[in-house]
Amino acid sequence: MTRPLFLAFLLCVATLARADVVAPLLKSYEAAGASKFSAKDAEAAWVQPHLDAKTGESRKCSSCHTEDLRRVGKHASTGKAIDPLAPSANPKRLTDAEHVEKWFTRNCRWTYGRDCSAQEKGNFLLYIQSK
């Protein structure tokens, strides 16, 4: 194989490996009963405010990640910068299933006071992936 061809091949493998974590996660959500994932539903949910019973704060995903996923976010309570969620702006996103699940759990509990359903998580994944 010529050198440029080999490099192109490596790039493809890297891209495939990167895309790989969304597909198995969606499969596991389907196994949990979800189907027909919708990035559009997630887009609406992203900015939908929820009243936190304890603090009276209005909370939504965009509270920390902003409405533009390509931008650097800011943690609503600590003020710390959060790297962009959009894979187009941050190639590390959606490459580590454990990291994704861990933060779905934390963020859904903080935002909604409950876990997200498999359907909601699948919708969010498609939405984030499209950015």
The residue ranges that bind ligand HEC (CB under 6 A) are 59, 61, 63-65, 75-77, 82-83, 85, 93-94, 99-100, 103-104, 107-108, 110-111, 124, 128
Q: How far apart are CA 13 and CA 20, in angstroms?
A: 10
Q: How far apart are CA 19 and CA 15, in angstroms?
A: 6
CB of 33 to ligand HEC, least distance (A): 19
- Looking at the Cβ atoms of 6 and 103, the one nearer to ligand HEC is 103
CA atoms within 13 A on the CB side of 8: 5
Residue from 113, 111, 130 nearest 45 by CA: 111
Structure tokens at 45: 């949910």
CB of 32 to ligand HEC, least distance (A): 17
- Looking at the Cβ atoms of 2 and 102, the one nearer to ligand HEC is 102
CB of 8 to ligand HEC, least distance (A): 26
